[in-house]
C-alpha cells in the first residue's frame, strides 16, 4: 500500500493517507487565534474541509474526531460552529476534552480528524 502525505513539514504532515483512511494532524486556528472559540472552530473546520478534499474525501466520510478545548465553558461555542458544519446523518464518533494549554497563546481549540477515503 502506498502512503500519501499532504502538507509535509519538518516536524509533521497535515495529513497522512494509508489503508483507505485519511489521518489529519491536530488543526488549530491560523487567522482567528485569540478570537472566540466559535470563530476559531469555524476556521479550523474550513481548513479540515480543504485538507479532506486534497486527500480525496470529504466531511461526510469522517469516522472519528478528537477535540481539545482550553476551557470546557466554551463547549457550547464550539458546538455552535460544529453543528452548522457537520452534515446531518453523517455525525462521526467524537470526543472532546479540556487541555489547560495548546501549542501557543490564543489557541483555544484543536481538532484532529480521521476519515475514510
pLDDT digits (tens, 9 = 90+) for 21-40: 999 999 999 999 999 999 99
Is 70 contained in some domain? yes
Tell me if 18 is assigned to some domain: no
Tell me whether residue 72 is in a domain: yes
Predicted pLDDT at 1: 81
- pLDDT the model gives residue 16: 98
Q: What is the largest CA-CA distance in the chain?
A: 43
**Residue 83 falls within a domain, yes or no?**
yes
Our separate counts of H helices and E strands in the chain read: 2, 6
> Which pTM was predicted?
0.96
Residue 62 lies in a domain: yes
What is the CATH number for 86?
A: 3.30.1330.40
- Domain membership of residue 19 (yes or no) is no
Task: Please give the mean pLDDT across all residues of the chain.
Answer: 97
Could you tell me what percent of the chain has a pLDDT over 90? 98
Q: How many domains does the chain have?
A: 1
Looking at the domain assignment, is residue 17 inside a domain? no
Give the residues of the chain that fall short of pLDDT 50.
none
In terms of DSSP bridges, do strands 93-98 and 62-69 run parallel, antiparallel, or are they unpaired? parallel
Question: Domain containing 38: what range?
Answer: 4-8+26-116
Amino acid at each position: 500500500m502506498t502512503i500519501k502525505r499532504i502538507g509535509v513539514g519538518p516536524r509533521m504532515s497535515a495529513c497522512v493517507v494509508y489503508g483507505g483512511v485519511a489521518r489529519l494532524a491536530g488543526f488549530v486556528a491560523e487567522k482567528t487565534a485569540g478570537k472566540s472559540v466559535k470563530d476559531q472552530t469555524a476556521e479550523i473546520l474550513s481548513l479540515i474541509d480543504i485538507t479532506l478534499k486534497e486527500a480525496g474525501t470529504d466531511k461526510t466520510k469522517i469516522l472519528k474526531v478528537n477535540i481539545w478545548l482550553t476551557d470546557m465553558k466554551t463547549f457550547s461555542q464550539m458546538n455552535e460552529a460544529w453543528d452548522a458544519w457537520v452534515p446531518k446523518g453523517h455525525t462521526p464518533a467524537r470526543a472532546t476534552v479540556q487541555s489547560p494549554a495548546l501549542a501557543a497563546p490564543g489557541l483555544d481549540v484543536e481538532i484532529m480528524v480521521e476519515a475514510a477515503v
